[in-house]
Structure 1
Amino acid sequence: MESLSDLWEKFSLLEFEGSHYVVEDSDGVSEYFLAARFYTGRMLSIEAIAKTLKGIWRTRRGFEVRDMGEHRVLFIFRDEVDVEQIMKGEPWTFDKHLVALQRVKKLTDLSKLKFETSFMWVQVHNLPIGITSTAVKSIVSAADKVFENSPDKEVYEGCNFVHFRVSIDITKPLCRGRKLALRDGQDSWVCFKYERMPNICHWCGKLTHMDRECPIWLKGKHTLKEVQQQFGSWMRAATPNLARKSVVRVAGFDENDSETEDRG
């Protein structure tokens, strides 16, 4: 069924219907908006959303939640810092399903919004020894647009992976990794794992629906078996133990012993 906002474009408008009313923003109230699409099949409860996110977001000045229909929600804030912190904390989930966010301006037509991206932290595992950070960034670009590396190099350089913040196109399957061609002519595979990964369809790898809603499953549910699934929970990154030392630098005999240090 067409939405009302699309339907009017086909109308032959009467004169008084087609005369434009100029909308102005003149109330002087500072408000900041986040539009959200909840990718869950369950009916949304605004009260449950407000209660859950209040404890997770811990905003400075609070926020208002409005149900906009079709699993879309509008959040209204009084403090821009709260909005910035929430956007930096992506991805967010509700009932383990993805919540895709967009920052929008006042007077935006929400019916025109398309929720197609979400930021995620991607861990890159099984990298060849000595590979440069520039090369790794090019490798992880297969997942989508790379924005930044680990926020704290000191903390993460001792881990057995590298860590990038990536803007993910949620209309596509999550990227599981990438093949490498090594100097000796052999092939290698690096594995991508996603921190705080929401529920994922194990058939097609998308975050926007579950297994039983997938076109692949609906088309072949009488013949498909779980062993044929190409995606799974193994793509979810474990939280690293940053307190555990995994790198120790040892000074040589010609160096000052004070230069020896532990790194996490």
Structure 2
Amino acid sequence: MAHPNLEGLSLHEEEGEVEGFSFDFDEEGDEQVDLRWCLVGRFLCERVIHFNSMKVRMPDLWRPMKGVTIKEAKAGTFLFLFAHPLDMEAVLNGGPWTFDNNMLLLERVQLGMQIEQIPLFHATMWVQEKMGKDLANYIGTFVEYDKNNNTSFWREYMRVRVKIDVRKPLKKDTKVKNKEGEWCTVNFKYEKLGTFCFVCGIMGHAENKCEVRFSMEQDDCKREWSSNLKA
């Protein structure tokens, strides 16, 4: 059986067909994979990912009960084909994930949409701050609040899960007004934060590859971002 062309892969319901989709991959045998249990992803970096190393490392991090098959759909874009939906949900909920300090952006494979049309520009991360939902929406888009974090007597911050557009600079802090009407600064710290630039604040590259820095007439060595953003 010839290898399937994954680059133009899309899902469409056939007329009269009961829900459920499968796709054949013959590299590891005649195994059928339900495409509803697939994620598409790319790593947030400018260099080529070593596919064979990544294909070993990610399952080692995830430890799926029923296994996962990783394919390269096109250069830099990967399909993660899970044998059980619980394993897929665990990966989505346990992120963000990194390989060689490069963040993995993941989205579900969507019905009727080709792989190259699925936008891979958002990362869902846990952020530590001292306010709530409004500040989470300031950082990105609020996803959930970690209620378990309230059980610690020594709790010094609030923990929220936020969907962040990786094309925009990371938010460092903001001003809020307290109950006394005084303005104070709330700082943000990002958990599992991979490579990001201290010059422009955008994830996926360091300052030695920053277009903003190279466009400067002279680098004054001032940096608005720092490693303090890492929790």
TM-score by length of 2: 0.80
Q: Which runs of 5+ in 1 are unaligned?
A: 6-21, 128-134, 238-264
Query: Counterpart of 1:232?
Result: 226
| Aligned amino acid, residue 102 of structure 1 | E
Write the distance in 1 (CA, Å) between the matches of 2:77 and 2:142: 27
Write the distance in 1 (CA, Å) between the matches of 2:144 and 2:50: 35
Write the distance in 2 (CA, Å) between the matches of 1:89 and 1:235: 20
Q: 2:67 aligns with which of 39, 62, 69?
A: 62
Distance 1:105 1:180, change over 3 A: closer
Structure 1 residue 208: Cα displacement: 2.9
Write the distance in 1 (CA, Å) between the matches of 2:202 and 2:187: 17
Write the distance in 2 (CA, Å) between the matches of 1:73 and 1:137: 33
Query: Counterpart of 1:17?
Result: none
Distance 1:176 1:154, change over 3 A: closer
CA contact 1:61–1:77 (8 Å) conserved in 2: yes
Distance 1:29 1:200, change over 3 A: closer
Write the distance in 2 (CA, Å) between the matches of 1:180 and 1:153: 22
Structure 1 residue 136: Cα displacement: 2.7
Question: Please, which moves more after superposition, 94-103 or 151-160?
Answer: 151-160
Q: Does 1:206 align with 2:195?
A: no
Write the distance in 1 (CA, Å) between the matches of 2:51 and 2:124: 24
Q: 2:88 aligns with which of 65, 83, 90?
A: 83
CA contact 2:149–2:155 (8 Å) conserved in 1: no
Distance 1:149 1:23, change over 3 A: closer
Q: Which runs of 5+ in 2 are unaligned?
A: 1-6, 15-20, 24-31
Q: Deviations over 1:182-210 (max 9, x none)?
A: 45453210100001111111111111332
Structure 1 residue 120: Cα displacement: 0.5
Computed over aligned residues only, the root mean square deviation of the Cα atoms, in angstroms, reads: 2.4
| Aligned amino acid, residue 44 of structure 1 | I
Write the distance in 1 (CA, Å) between the matches of 2:72 and 2:85: 21
Q: 1:44 aligns with which of 36, 46, 49?
A: 49
Write the distance in 2 (CA, Å) between the matches of 1:75 and 1:112: 17
Structure 1 residue 231: Cα displacement: 0.9
| Aligned amino acid, residue 98 of structure 1 | M
TM-score by length of 1: 0.70
Q: Deviations over 1:130-169 (max 9, x none)?
A: xxxxx63223321111122114145445311111111111
CA contact 1:46–1:65 (8 Å) conserved in 2: no
Between the two proteins, the alignment pairs up a number of residues equal to: 206
Query: Counterpart of 1:139?
Result: 135
Query: Counterpart of 1:101?
Result: 106
Look up the SS of the partner of 1:82 in the other structure.
helix
Write the distance in 1 (CA, Å) between the matches of 2:185 and 2:230: 17
